[in-house]
Every structure is written in C-alpha cells, then in structure tokens.
Amino acid sequence: MTPLEIFGIACAILALIAFVGNQYGKMRAESFLYDFLNFVSAVGLFYYAYETRAYPFLITNTVWAAISGIDVVKHIVKRLRH
C-alpha cells in the first residue's frame, strides 16, 4: 500500500467517524467537530482524488469541503464574537 492510499483511507475514516457519530446520536450535525471532521476529510479526499485523477470524486469533495469549510468559519466567527 502506498503512502497516498494510506492517506486516502485515513481521510475516508474521518468522514465515516463524522457520519456514524451523527447517525448514532453521538455527534450533532450542527457541531463544530462534525463540520471540522467533514472539512478535513473532504480536503484530504480532494487531494487524493486529484492525485489519482478521480474526477467525479474530485467534484464531490470540492463541494463537500466548501460547504463544510463555510460552516467551520461560521463556528469560529461565532466563538470570536462571544
């Protein structure tokens, strides 16, 4: 297994942790942790998709990272204002 494959698997695991945590009520979809895990995993999976030329996956993770990233920024701004 290559380092890139290990990286891709690690990023996929982060996304799955957020998904499973939400599905089983351990992590709210509105939480910073959920958004942060989704953002980090999407950026990592974007890189993996870019390196492997998996273009459909690249598009999916671009949108996923953008939406999650916006929510992460909203959480940070909200904390800074209080």
Task: Please report the pLDDT score of residue 82 as a whole number.
Answer: 82
Both structure tokens of 6: 């290990």
Side-chain-facing half-sphere of 40: CA atoms under 13 Å: 16
Enclosing domain of residue 26: 3-81
Side-chain-facing half-sphere of 81: CA atoms under 13 Å: 6
66 pLDDT above the threshold of 90: yes
pLDDT in tens, 8-63: 999 999 999 999 999 999 999 999 999 999 999 999 999 999 999 999 999 999 99
* Mean local confidence (pLDDT), 61-76: 97
Q: For the chain, what is the domain count? A: 1
Both structure tokens of 49: 């998709």
Q: Would you give the end-to-end CA distance of the chain in angstroms? A: 46
* pTM of the predicted model as reported, rounded to 2 decimal places: 0.93
Q: Quick check: helix, strand or coil at residue 35?
A: helix
